[in-house]
Amino acid sequence: MTSWPDALRTHYRWIIVAAGGALGCVAIGGLFALPVFLRPIAQDTGWSSTGISTAMTLAFVALALGSIAWGALSDRVGPRLVVLAGAVLLALGLALASLATSLFAFQLLFGVVVGIGAAAIFAPMMACVTGWFDTHRSLAVSLVSAGMGVAPMTMSPLAAWLVQTHDWRGALQLIAALAAVTMIPLALLVRRPPALQATPTTAPEAARESSLSVAQALRSPPFLILVLTSFLSCATHSGPIFHTVSYAVTCGIPLMAAVSIYSMEGLAGLGGRLVFGLLGDRFGAARVLVLALLAQAIVVLGYVFARQLGSFYTVAALFGFTYAGVMPLFAVIARDNFPLRMMGTVIGSTTMASSLGMALGPVLGGLIYDTYSSYAWLFIGAFALGIGAFLAAFAFTRLPRQRAIAAAA
């Protein structure tokens, strides 16, 4: 006879996956409304592309700093309260940003408040989901990430439609309202993994992990290399993601068509998340990560040669497939290498690194375009960063995890 805890784990864990995917979709969709609003905001306010893009950079910096704090807090109090607080902050930040009358106020409200709110969603939910699954873990994490990947196909077209039927302030207020009415109820569905309440086993691995402190884990070589890989990976794709719409518009493609390129990245990303999730369960997340990062570096160069809508679609499909497939693997690798009781802290730390990497792209892309009136060097630089991410991930696979962590202890 199946016990109640076993039945709970079997069935409710998929509700956690669904809630995490939906929360991520709305949170990421709200955050990435800014690339769609970039030109309308600039035309209405006279603010520079660099200044507006800086709000996105600040959002990623806030996401970085908030991720480790929210992740550590979720280890202590559980993910529900953390995610609920994040939902409220994100909706509030979007609403207040729509009322900003100065560039500094907009950067502060959209960048800092929205960024901190989004930070409370990603790392705690990823940590939570890894704890609910012993089997199919890569697939489960990929499905949550796929929910986030739906944002370019749902929230971005919605933002583009809203900004054409309203001014950007009214459109942002409607997105804030949508975030509030969807994310707050979903946050109430989140539960702490049952494994954290289970009686500890006496297995040698369990004993070793129970003696490992958070400080020891955070200075171990596997953790440091994982953080570096996460940073370089996100630095690779952050600029191309943020500036795809603007780049396409400068090539003479209409706004709605340009947004559809962004949506193509999201659609292909769904396939990438699922395919790489299944491959990670079969061949190991670390091995799959190495190949995916190499593919990401090569594909991003394709944007240098894209000029027509068809070529943009082709590159966007390949790029979305690779970069989106990469992201869930970091959470799986973290769970494979570190104890569940510190997952919020570990995943929060890797999310902090990835967010700092994401913070580079928007502002550097804006500076490159403002300086050269071209995005070519953005994509060339992204390729170089992608090769660095590939080499770091390869180094991770050559590092003996057990011995490395023991040495740090």
- Residue 211, amino acid: S
Regarding predicted confidence, which is higher, 277 or 101?
A: 101
Task: Specify the long-range contacts of residues 371-379, CB closer than 8 Å, at least 24 apart.
Answer: 375/243, 375/246, 375/247, 375/250, 375/303, 376/304, 378/239, 378/240, 378/243, 379/239, 379/240, 379/300, 379/301, 379/303, 379/304
pLDDT confidence band for 408 (50 / 70 / 90):
very low
Q: Which of 291, 267, 328 is nearest to 143 (CA)?
A: 328
Give the Cα separation of 293 and 148 in Å (integer). Answer: 19
In 78-136, alpha helices (H): 79-97, 103-106, 115-132
Question: What's residue 232's pLDDT?
Answer: 93
pLDDT digits over 176-215, tens only? 999 999 999 999 999 888 766 554 444 444 444 456 777 7
Residue 347 contacts residue 126 (beta carbons within 8 Å): yes
* 125-317-380 Cα angle (round to 5): 95
Asked if 321 contacts 268 with a C-beta cutoff of 8 angstroms, the reply is yes
Comparison of pLDDT for 86 and 400, the residue scoring more? 86
Element (H, E) at 196: none
Structure tokens at 232: 């370089």
**What predicted TM-score, i.e. pTM, was given to this entire model?**
0.71
* pLDDT value at residue 401: 52
Q: What is the pLDDT of residue 406?
A: 43
Q: Report residue 8's pLDDT band, with 50, 70 and 90 as the boundaries.
A: low
Q: At what angle do helices 33-45 and 255-283 cross, to 10 degrees?
A: 150
d(CA 348, CA 329): 14
Summarize pLDDT for 337-366 with one digit per residue, the tens: 888 778 888 888 888 888 788 778 777 888
In this predicted model, what pLDDT tens digit does every residue of 13-39 receive, in sequence order? 889 989 999 998 999 888 888 888 888
Nearest residue to 255 via CA among 310, 174, 321, 309 = 309
Out of 101-105, 159-163, 199-203, pick the least confident: 199-203
Cα 281 from Cα 150, distance rounded (Å): 22
Mean pLDDT of the chain: 83
Positive or negative: CA dihedral 9, 280, 393, 56: negative
What was the pLDDT predicted at 282?
A: 82
Local confidence band at 396 (pLDDT 50, 70, 90 cut-offs): confident
| Positive or negative: CA dihedral 258, 264, 266, 269 | negative
Domains and CATH numbers, the chain: 7-192+204-408 (1.20.1250.20)
| Greatest Cα pair distance in the chain | 69
> Could you give the CA distance from residue 377 to residue 364 in angstroms, rounded to a whole number?
10
Q: What is the DSSP string of 45-71?
A: H---HHHHHHHHHHHHHHHHHHHHHHH
Sign of the dihedral defined by the CA atoms of residues 86, 161, 238, 246, in that order: negative
The pLDDT confidence band at residue 383, using thresholds 50, 70 and 90, is: very high
What is the predicted pLDDT for the residue at 387? 95
Report the alpha-carbon distance of residue 274 to residue 138 in Å, rounded: 9
What confidence score (pLDDT) does residue 210 get?
Answer: 54
Burial of 221 (0-12, 13-18, 19+ CB in 10 A): middle
